[in-house]
Amino acid sequence: MTDKHETLRDAADRLNSARRAFGLGEDGLRLLRRSREAFINSLRNTGLTYAQAQVKYDNCLDEQQQLHQQAIHELQYAERLHRQLLAELEQTA
């Protein structure tokens, strides 16, 4: 019984961690989108043309969106795992 409780606790920790990562990703993407012009202008200060800076911004945004998508998948998995373990524990109780 203790192993199941420990496994459930680990799943809850994983779920909390996934929720934090998801929230940070949401915040990061929102800030990145909001600071588009500042981001591009800061890159232009390094000598890039506006078009080059736009490409760098777009690449950065794409990469962050991919990372956020991975965080979404991890959150969904953690939620399913936690629900499954909770249901199993309730059945044995």
Q: Which of these, 82, 84, 12, 61, lies nearest to 53 by C-alpha position?
A: 61
The range of the structural domain enclosing residue 82 comes to 2-92
CB 63 within 8 A of CB 91: no
Q: How many CB atoms are located within 10 Å of the residue 15 CB?
A: 19
Number of domains in the chain: 1
Residues in the chain: 93
pLDDT at 7: 93
pLDDT at 89: 87
Residue written as token pair 């990703």: 25
pLDDT at 92: 84
pLDDT by 10s per residue, the chain, length 93: 578 889 999 999 999 999 999 999 999 999 999 999 999 999 999 999 999 999 999 999 999 999 999 999 999 999 999 999 999 988 886
pLDDT at 5: 85
Q: How many CB atoms are located within 10 Å of the residue 40 CB?
A: 19
Residues 6+ positions from 12 with CB-CB distance below 8 Å: 82
